[in-house]
């Protein structure tokens, strides 16, 4: 479980960090997360999706030894897996960790791979949330690629978030728009996910992701036709946030 290295509550530290870095840049926030001992041990969690290359490149430049956690749900697009391998080879990242659901749990809860068809929340919990929680034990914070423009539910995201009073979530790109991402990718000559050109601005598991039509919310293709907008990893403020097993006990 995360180490108790710092005085004050997680909420206090998050409020202070947001006040301190309110007018700073994404790279400033990233450097803080990767080099400031006040945040403790931090990992980057990456889906290797449509915009992931921006943060991955920043990490490779600032602190390439940073752990990068990639959740392979075994339901990802083949293009995502190919892209992940290509970026792992091209960027100077030293510690990419691929995690998956435990085979015994998958065998018991989704033996035929159809759980997503009738219970998407349970499928996300099995294949993504529990493996990530397991991988994040021992970290005091984690870096995400969430941005305010992605949908209305993310419109108030700050650089730093309190995750269940036990860990800090860092969102360096919170205030970036699509044009900022585009500029960064072009200026640094970064490879794009191959599905972006085919109408996928947000990419998750293949069975639950569809192309987005012009004018739609960028995440409209995720769990299309349902009220679901998040897998559960990013729920905060008491919504589906669970402490590590040691803490919960």
What's this model's pTM, rounded to 2 decimal places? 0.86
Gap between the Cα atoms of 232 and 239, Å rounded: 8
Residues 176-201 pLDDT 10s: 888 999 999 999 999 999 999 999 99
Q: Which residues contact 133 (CB under 8 A, 6 or more apart)?
A: 242, 244
Annotation marks residue 231 as catalytic: yes
Per-residue pLDDT at 106 exceeds 60: yes
Domain ranges of the chain: 10-248
Residues 21-34 pLDDT 10s: 888 888 888 888 78
Q: Which of 123, 205, 208, 231 is catalytic?
A: 231
Q: What is the pLDDT of residue 33?
A: 79
Q: Which residues contact 87 (CB under 8 A, 6 or more apart)?
A: 48, 52, 53, 56, 93, 191
Residues 154-176 pLDDT 10s: 446 889 999 988 899 999 998 88
Answer whether CATH 3.40.50.620 is correct for domain 10-248. yes
């Amino acid at each position: 479980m995360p180490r108790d290295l710092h005085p004050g509550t997680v909420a206090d530290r998050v409020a202070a960090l947001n006040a301190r870095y309110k007018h700073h840049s994404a790279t400033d926030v990233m450097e803080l997360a990767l080099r400031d001992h006040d945040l403790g041990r931090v990992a980057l969690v990456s889906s290797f999706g449509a915009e992931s290359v921006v943060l991955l490149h920043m990490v490779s430049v600032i602190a390439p030894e940073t752990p990068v956690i990639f959740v392979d749900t075994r339901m990802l697009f083949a293009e995502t897996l190919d892209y992940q391998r290509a970026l792992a080879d091209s960027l100077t990242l030293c510690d990419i960790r691929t995690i998956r659901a435990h085979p015994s749990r998958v065998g018991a809860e989704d033996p035929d791979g159809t759980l997503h068809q009738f219970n998407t929340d349970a499928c996300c919990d099995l294949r993504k949330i529990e493996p990530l929680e397991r991988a994040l034990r021992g970290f005091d914070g984690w870096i995400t690629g969430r941005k305010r423009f992605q949908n209305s539910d993310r419109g108030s995201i700050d650089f730093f978030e309190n995750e269940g009073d036990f860990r800090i979530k860092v969102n360096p790109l919170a205030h970036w728009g699509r044009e900022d991402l585009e500029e960064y990718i072009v200026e640094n000559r970064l490879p794009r996910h191959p599905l972006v050109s085919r109408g996928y601005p947000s990419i998750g598991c293949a069975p639950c992701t569809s192309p987005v039509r012009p004018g739609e919310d960028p995440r409209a293709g995720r769990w299309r036709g349902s009220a679901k907008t998040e897998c559960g990893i990013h729920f905060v403020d008491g919504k589906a946030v669970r402490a590590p097993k040691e803490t919960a006990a």
